[in-house]
């Protein structure tokens, strides 16, 4: 799914913590070349936030398993509808029937706002190979 743009190796995540004097702790995740093909690869790492935003912007060009994504999306819609019906009654649900589902908008939402598990599920459904080169994603 993710490959180094310089040597073609896989990409791995590295978690770092920065401890401040006032007691705050900041968590950072970097994605970098695993150096499986080239131990001397000099490709730079990319921060998780930058990677996620670039993926969200490129989602219209990325192919993914729509069948698996649609099943997950429909489950989320059912959960949402049960909650809104509980909170607001049947009036709200009746107005929502028949609307089309935009899987790419859902994927962008998951990338930006989803849990780690939701993001992982979405990324596992990607069919397009994505390369990271110079802190930018490249779709081939």
Report pLDDT digits (tens) over 38-59. 999 999 999 999 999 999 999 9
Asked if residue 104 has pLDDT above 80, the reply is yes
User: Per the domain annotation, does 30 fall within a domain?
Assistant: yes
CA atoms within 13 A on the CB side of 21: 0
Instruction: Please compute the mean of the pLDDT values over residues 58-83 and round it to a whole number.
Output: 80
105, 135: one domain: no
73 and 99 belong to one structural domain: yes
Do 73 and 94 share a domain, yes or no? Answer: yes
Residue 96 pLDDT > 60? no
Q: What is the value of pTM for the model shown?
A: 0.75
**41 and 28 part of one domain:** yes
Total domains, the chain: 2
DSSP label at 26? Answer: E
Same domain for 43 and 83, yes or no, is no
CB atoms inside a 10 Å sphere around CB 90 = 9
The pLDDT value recorded for residue 67 is 79
Residues present in the chain in total: 140
How many other CB atoms sit within 10 Å of the CB of residue 65? Answer: 14
How far separated are the first and last CA of the chain, in Å rounded? 11
CA distance 126 to 120: 10
Domain that holds residue 14: 1-48+129-140
């Amino acid at each position: 799914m993710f490959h180094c743009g310089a040597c073609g190796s896989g990409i791995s995540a590295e978690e770092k913590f920065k401890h401040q004097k006032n007691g705050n702790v900041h968590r950072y995740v970097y994605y970098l070349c695993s150096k499986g093909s080239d131990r001397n690869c000099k490709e730079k790492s990319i921060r998780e936030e930058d990677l996620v935003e670039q993926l969200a912007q490129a989602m219209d060009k990325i192919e993914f398993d729509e069948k698996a994504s649609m099943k997950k999306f429909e489950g989320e819609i059912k959960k949402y509808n049960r909650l809104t019906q509980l909170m607001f009654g049947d009036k709200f649900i009746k107005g929502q029937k028949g609307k089309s589902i935009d899987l790419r908008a859902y994927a962008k939402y998951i990338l930006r706002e989803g849990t780690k598990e939701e993001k992982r599920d979405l990324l596992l459904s990607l069919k397009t190979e994505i390369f990271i080169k110079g802190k930018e994603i490249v779709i081939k």
